[in-house]
Homo-oligomer: A and B are copies of this chain.
């Protein structure tokens, strides 16, 4: 379909469009012009028109975009018209923070279980979500639909954990460990490298241009 032709840069902007349109929906805004959207997004209006034309052009000249329709169409492109079951590997602070993000559910991402190896944590619940033993992970994956595993274990354990998850059938990995995972090609990895984000900040603070 058309998706194959869309550039990475456009796709990278879509989650932000989606977020903005969601904010507008919450405020009961029905229509928005590319000019207004551009002021909010800090992208030129022509860039916005170009971006959205990639998906068949949701707008009408001089009339603006229907917020709800655009939000829903972009949601479909982003794969948000379905639900995802998510497990979290590691019930430390970061794992708990992720389990507590109710916003993810609004977008169709449901945390079903959290896994840890600490006897202190196993058997507890986080926002009603059970913390299970790492020993149960393989069986859990085999008996339940799990779409995404978020990895919040220490750096040294992450590659081994990810390899096991892939072997047991997980196809989506959300990796928070500051290391790269070498996984089979049919496994999709999205990295959140916090230290790298902090380094971009220090680069800019040390008197360099915006990146």
Contact = CB atoms under 8 A, between A and B. Distances in A.
Oligomeric state, in copies: 2
Interface in A101-123: 101, 103-104, 107-109
A16 B196 contact: yes
A84 B200 CA distance: 13
A163 interface: no
A79 B209 CA distance: 12
Interface string A42-83: 000000000000000000000000000000000001111010
B19 A196 contact: yes
Contacts of A179: 23
A107 B195 contact: yes
Q: Using C-beta atoms within 8 Å of the partner chain, give the interface range for chain A.
A: 35 or more
Contacts of A11: 200, 203, 208, 211
Contact of A192 (B3, B77, B194, B207): B194
B205 A79 contact: yes
Interface of A: 3-4, 8, 11-12, 14-16, 18-19, 23, 77-80, 82, 84, 92-94, 96-98, 100-101, 103-104, 107-109, 147-148, 155, 171-172, 174, 178-179, 188, 190, 192-211
